[in-house]
Amino acid sequence: MKKLFRLFTKKENSEQTEHQPTPIDTDLPQNLTYIKNSLGESTDIVIRKFKIGEKRTVKIAVVYTDGLVNESTVHESLLETLMSDVRQTQLSKQALNKGMYYTVRDHVLTAGELDELETLDDVLLHVLSGDTVLFLEGETKALCVSTRGWQDRGVEEPSTQAVVRGPKDGFTETLRTNTALLRRKIKDPNLWITTQAIGTKTKTDVAVVYMNGIANEKIVKEVHKRLNQINIDSLLDSGYVEELIQDETYTPFPTVYNSERPDSIAAGLLEGRVAIIVDGSPFVLLVPALFMQFFQSPEDYYQRSDFATLVRLIRFIAFFLALLTPSAYIALTTYHQEMIPTSLLINLSSQREGVPFPALVEALIMEVTFEILREAGVRLPKAVGSAISIVGALVLGQAAVEAGLVSSAMIIVVSLTAISSFVSPSFNFAISIRMLRFLFMILAATFGLFGILLGLIVLALHLASLRSFGVPYLSPLAPYITSDQKDTILRFPRWGLLTRQRLINQKNIDRENMHKPKPTSRSPKKGDSS
């Protein structure tokens, strides 16, 4: 980590020396030439020159990027106003006396967001972000009008983390849409959003969102600190940010949570977590992320609490199944046959008659085959993908058994593992289980259950050593916090969930303070007393 930071600081220094901002020149053509040259005369840059004023004496140029701007805004509220409306209106002399620049700035432009720019580098940045920039002859400042408006995907149902019950909207690639989605859920002045641009080349907007007063200030500061330390040329997805700000690089476990679902992020914000939205990525990050969080789906809170608890338990079972089934099979069949009931052992051993590989190799073959199929299923076009993977699995599985390459019990083991690994509501968590599975298989093949157990101890030690933005990864299990158990493995009814997690926010613990509404009581006396 330290080394990583050192790397960044070095870069920053070298960057600063070579960069000197160019001021805007009074000469309009020179400015335009500079812009043209800087952008290599790119064809999507539109430069429109014309003259305005009563006598058409003032030269003016409008620069914008085709495709990034909202054409109608540019035409209606910029070009039209400047070219025709200004002439028709009678402006007071006082206004005109100040100079054309101020007239345009204060009286003419009807756009909502207006900026003044002083350097050509800023101009370039704004033009490339979708703003429209106005140059006036003889001025050292340029006016920048926000005309951003491009084709985007629109709010759709998220493709990951699907739920049966619950909101179906998902984040999109546009930062503003995403913040708006959050604002729509939390209409509170304490929802604070700060934005900064990261990436020397991509200049990607990164927004840090948190609930002021609920989020732990230390964590907010830490997030800002880590974001400021990022110095990278490009930031194409929130995955970049995740990798750059996570506490621990060498761990298979995600210490940053990501979600496509505004409801899930909003819930996290209300718990006191900090969200990081990266422009261009529908996956919003949430920190601190704890181990238990990856077993929780937003749907848990929309279903009845007893059912949600059951489902969480099933996810736990699936976690262990996905992690340990192949290794336990290997350990039991090659080391601890005394633990298998006799009749089962006879069945297993009759299946293994004639299988040429040791159990480990057999398991590895099948697991790797499955991983290949899975990867192929993701990459193939949707129409063929599912068909090919199903056929591949069936044919390969069936044929492999019939050809005597693997035993049929192994097929069951592999399929059980595969299915279990998809139960986790979080995709990136499932990946870590899949990786660890292979290590456990090797351990099982060398030391049997002893190896598996030692592997589990190492895993537990590793998990216990992790922290996510200062919060121990395994909390509230270790360190154990009794009051937080209500929403960890169990999901208490909503009336039991009136406090926030201890370690994430230390100050503002109580969520709400109210009594459970009771059905109108039949005997008025009782009702009065409560």
Residues that bind other proteins (CB under 8 A): 3, 248-250, 333-342, 345-355, 358-359, 439, 442-443, 445-451, 453-454, 457-458, 460-465, 472, 474, 477-480
Residues in the chain: 530
Residue 314 vs 346, nearer CB to other proteins: 346
Residue 317 vs 419, nearer CB to other proteins: 317
Please count the helices (runs of H) and the strands (runs of E) in the chain.
18, 12
Write out the two tokens for 84. Answer: 């025709």
Residue 361 vs 419, nearer CB to other proteins: 361
The angle subtended at Cα 249 by Cα 245 and Cα 253, nearest 5°, is 100
Q: How far is the CB of 352 from other proteins (least distance, A)?
A: 4
Let me know: does 329 contact 409? Beta carbons within 8 Å: yes
- Using the 8-state DSSP alphabet, how is residue 79 labeled? I
Q: How far is the CB of 360 from other proteins (least distance, A)?
A: 9
Q: How far is the CB of 4 from other proteins (least distance, A)?
A: 11
Please state, in angstroms and rounded to a whole number, the distance separating the CA atoms of residues 281 and 175: 8
Sheet holding 58-65, edge to edge: 45-52, 58-65, 132-136, 142-145, 114-117
State the amino acid at position 53 in one-letter form: G
Residue 140 vs 249, nearer CB to other proteins: 249
Residue 208 vs 359, nearer CB to other proteins: 359
Q: At how many degrees (to 10) do helices 359-379 and 408-421 cross?
A: 40
Q: How far is the CB of 415 from other proteins (least distance, A)?
A: 20
Residue 530 three-state SS: coil
Let me know: does 437 contact 321? Beta carbons within 8 Å: no
Please state, in angstroms and rounded to a whole number, the distance separating the CA atoms of residues 372 and 24: 56
Q: How far is the CB of 230 from other proteins (least distance, A)?
A: 20
- Using the 8-state DSSP alphabet, how is residue 138 labeled? T
Residue 391 vs 458, nearer CB to other proteins: 458
Q: How far is the CB of 342 from other proteins (least distance, A)?
A: 5
Residue 2 vs 379, nearer CB to other proteins: 2
Q: What region, left, alpha or beta, does residue 470 occupy, with left being phi > 0 and alpha being psi -120 to 50 degrees? A: left
Q: How far is the CB of 490 from other proteins (least distance, A)?
A: 14
Please state, in angstroms and rounded to a whole number, the distance separating the CA atoms of residues 462 and 238: 25
